[in-house]
Amino acid sequence: MSLLRRIEQVQQGADAQKAGAMARVSPSAPQTYPTYVQGGSRDDYLKNIRQHLVDQVISASHSLLAVDAADLQSNLEALIDQVIAARGFAITHVERLRLIEDVIAEITGFGPIEPLLRDGTVTEVMVNGPRQVYIERKGKLELTNVAFRNDEHVMHIIDRIIAPLGRRIDESSPKVDARLPDGSRVNAIIAPLSLIGPVITVRKFATKPYTVEDLVGFGTATAEMFDFLRVCVEARLNIFVSGGTGSGKTTFLNVLSSFIPNEERIVTIEDAAELQLRQEHVITLEARPANVEGEGEITIRHLLRNALHMRPDRIIVGECRGGEALDMVQAMTVGHDGSLSTGHANSPRDMLSRLETMILMSGYELPLQTIREQITSAIDLIVHTARLKDGSRKVVNITEVFGIEEDNILTQDIFAFEQTGFNDGRIEGLLKPTGIRPTFMRKFKESGIQLPPGEFGIPAEDPMKPDLSRPGKSRFSTADVPQPVDKSISLGRARRAGGMLYISSVGPVDPETGQVVAGGIKEQTSQCVRNMKARLEAEGSSLERVVWANWSLRDPVEFDAFNKEWVNWFTGDAPVGQCTLMPPMQRRAGFRISIGVIAEA
């Protein structure tokens, strides 16, 4: 028996049952079909026809799933033509083809959102209950005229998405993460958590993974910046990609991962597999939720610990959301350099704060100092992405994590986005070097990487400044190496006004060597006063003419020791003044004390 004949029999039986039921309820009630009312909405008319066809075909569609797609479409076309002719529906050829597509989508695809998923310009589909469907196109949200019949219709599509993956959604487990066959990410949430009906959010992935050329064309970053990031990956720097929701973190991580040499063994770990690596030696691991009995859950933490026993050259975690951050940071410090991951944050500094919070979520009661030392030791670079007001996605910061001082993680922007204008609704600007030379530049040479002339606009190494490069992945503090001292914070600046001489902070620097003097607070105070005395005399004043002073101390508990040395420099009463806490710039220079004064000119 042909498929069409089976459908006709089922349909005839359904029509007979429906007719009998109607006759029992109201013998004289006529059977109605969609009609076109003059002045009415054509869309409403087509929607009614579509609903009628769906009711007719879907009620007999269970037997359709066992046939080939080509056979299915040809039989459906014949059936729909037969129904249209029998009911006298007035539609055009284009409308007929659209109706056929809609019915096939209901049977084998994802219903009303199937055309949106096939639209290459749509990057996200958001179903807010049965009557409201939004899409994202070019970074902007748009409300569509797509609608579902009811909540059950939306639930039917959710079940179709998650059933092949062995996942479930019901009142006891009312939310689920999954993926479509093309790798697109799906989140669904239903009552009692959702009060507007079932909600589906689909983050679409391109059928062909984006390349560097694609992102350069989109304006995400310049080709030069990708060349810089390429050598960072090849030099096995540990990189975090941070950004807000929808800022393109996963897409950017996918492009970064393409820089990993093909001969390396890569292990990827994700909640729902999204990454599309093109290397040959890739092991893809995916977390598993608990079953109906609440057992069998395999988290990212479990997979990450297991990955350490799989001899990986690189570990890529799709996103750190919780306690797995501790395992990721530890993996980065125990021989798995060159690892990559992403995290939600509004800035690179926020990413570090979130990592601290996530590590605390691991259940281990670690001191904050230890956590920050681990993060500093593990992470080399944070690439921050953002979705700007015009909907474009750009890299806005490339930030180095270069040290820790007094339990504060130190960062510096190597490149930052500078907006230059706003033209025709689009933000214009470039990711530019900040003029800071990162401390990991030595690793490029050690890895045999030849940098292009100009080194991406990064300043050349200054032979007059000490080398702050890290020799390896270990705890690094700015106190471990001598720091460059700027003259403006070591010898102070002088200004005359109203018959008075104002001299800004003078530091404990030996004028001959340009280095901070060795010793404690006593030795540094003595050097500060000597420097201040010389500066005052050069300006035509003296220590005896000082009427007010400001002392900046690194540690306030050293005030008594400082004051004992300070008063020794004056024959009478020492000048009055105030004590303040030393700013970070002077701390990083190795100062324990700096002094500023006001004196009679």
- Cα–Cα separations (whole angstroms), residue 280 to 256, 264, 267, 307, 487: 16, 9, 12, 18, 54
In contact, 109 and 100? CB cutoff 8 Å: no
- Cα–Cα separations (whole angstroms), residue 18 to 13, 14, 64: 9, 6, 22
Those residues with Cβ within 8 angstroms of residue 4's Cβ, 6 or more apart along the chain or in another chain: 75, 78, 79
What is 236-457's CATH topology? Rossmann fold (3.40.50)
In contact, 275 and 268? CB cutoff 8 Å: yes
Judge whether residue 64 has pLDDT over 60.
Answer: no
pLDDT tens per residue across span 232-262 = 999 999 999 999 988 889 889 999 999 999 9
In contact, 470 and 439? CB cutoff 8 Å: yes
Let me know if the fold of 114-203 is the same as that of 487-600. Answer: no
Mean pLDDT (whole number) for 481-499: 68
Q: What is the dihedral of CA 347, 349, 351, 356, to 10 degrees?
A: -160
- Sequence ranges of the domains in the chain: 3-108, 114-203, 236-457, 487-600
Confidence of residue 513 (pLDDT cuts 50, 70, 90): confident
Higher local confidence (pLDDT), 65 or 172: 172
Q: Which pLDDT does position 32 carry in this prediction?
A: 47
First to last CA, the chain: 112
What is 487-600's CATH topology? 60s Ribosomal Protein L30; Chain: A; (3.30.1330)
In CATH, the architecture of 114-203 is 2-Layer Sandwich (3.30)
Lowest pLDDT segment from 69-73, 382-386, 544-548: 69-73
Cα separation, 303 vs 54, whole angstroms = 44
**Among 526, 338, 356, CA closest to 440:** 338
Judge whether residue 514 has pLDDT over 50.
Answer: yes
Mean pLDDT (whole number) for 8-25: 43
- The pTM (predicted TM-score) of the whole model is 0.67
Confidence of residue 38 (pLDDT cuts 50, 70, 90): very low
pLDDT tens per residue across span 167-209 = 788 888 899 888 888 778 899 999 999 999 999 999 887 777 8
Q: Which pLDDT does position 2 carry in this prediction?
A: 45
